[in-house]
């Protein structure tokens, strides 16, 4: 009889603790740690070089679950930004669509350096909406590493 009372007591304590954690999460008192991801700074000059990167990301689709392993941030800060210009969309349709689908499927997050965009004279409106624009690539890479625990590739 005594064992049953202790078991009930611990059951109540466990359920109360779980309820407190859930309530604390909902009210923002505690944060569930995010799964760190990976960040890859990209500076390539051709469609073929960008295809190699996207092929590698696509091959991770079967092995890589972003919910378990974190996200992969691909930070574009070179001539490859020209490939994504709306004026070049028809010529680069397959690579842009592939990048969009990888982003949509949460395999990669694509980011574009606005500093390099200015150097290349690319207006912010000229890139597709799925590409997140960031002020300066090296600062964004460092921020992801320091603030979010990303691993630099």
- Pair (14, 84) in one structural domain: no
Q: Are strands 151-152 and 132-134 parallel, antiparallel or unpaired?
A: unpaired
Distance CA 144, CA 151 (A): 8
Q: Dihedral of CA 24/27/33/35: which sign? A: positive
Q: What's the confidence (pLDDT) of residue 7?
A: 42
What CATH code is carried by the domain that includes residue 42?
3.40.1260.10
Q: Summarize pLDDT for 119-153 with one digit per residue, the tens.
A: 999 999 999 999 999 999 999 999 999 999 999 98
- Pair (75, 109) in one structural domain: yes
- Pair (24, 46) in one structural domain: no
- Pair (148, 127) in one structural domain: yes
Looking at the chain, the whole-number percentage of residues with pLDDT higher than 70 is 78
Distance CA 136, CA 126 (A): 18
Q: Residue 33: which pLDDT band, with cuts at 50, 70 and 90?
A: low
Distance CA 108, CA 81 (A): 16
Q: What's the confidence (pLDDT) of residue 114?
A: 98
Closest CA to 92 of 125, 120, 51: 51
- Look up the domain containing 14 and give its range: 1-32
pTM for this prediction = 0.74
- Pair (1, 75) in one structural domain: no
**Contact in structure between 136 and 113 (CB atoms under 8 Å):** yes
- Pair (81, 24) in one structural domain: no
- Pair (104, 148) in one structural domain: yes
């Amino acid at each position: 009889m005594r064992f049953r009372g202790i078991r009930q007591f611990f059951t109540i304590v466990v359920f109360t603790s779980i309820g407190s954690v859930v309530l604390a999460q909902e009210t923002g008192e505690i944060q569930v740690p995010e799964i760190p991801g990976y960040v890859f700074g990209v500076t390539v000059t051709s469609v073929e070089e960008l295809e190699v990167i996207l092929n590698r990301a696509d091959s991770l689709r079967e092995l890589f679950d972003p919910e378990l392993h974190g996200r992969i941030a691909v930070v574009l800060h070179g001539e490859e930004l020209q490939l994504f210009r709306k004026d070049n969309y028809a010529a680069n349709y397959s690579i842009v669509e592939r990048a969009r689908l990888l982003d949509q499927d949460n395999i990669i997050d694509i980011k574009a350096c606005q500093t390099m965009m200015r150097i290349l004279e690319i207006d912010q409106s000229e890139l597709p909406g799925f590409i997140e624009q960031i002020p300066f690539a090296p600062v964004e890479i460092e921020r992801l590493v320091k603030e979010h625990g990303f691993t630099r590739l």
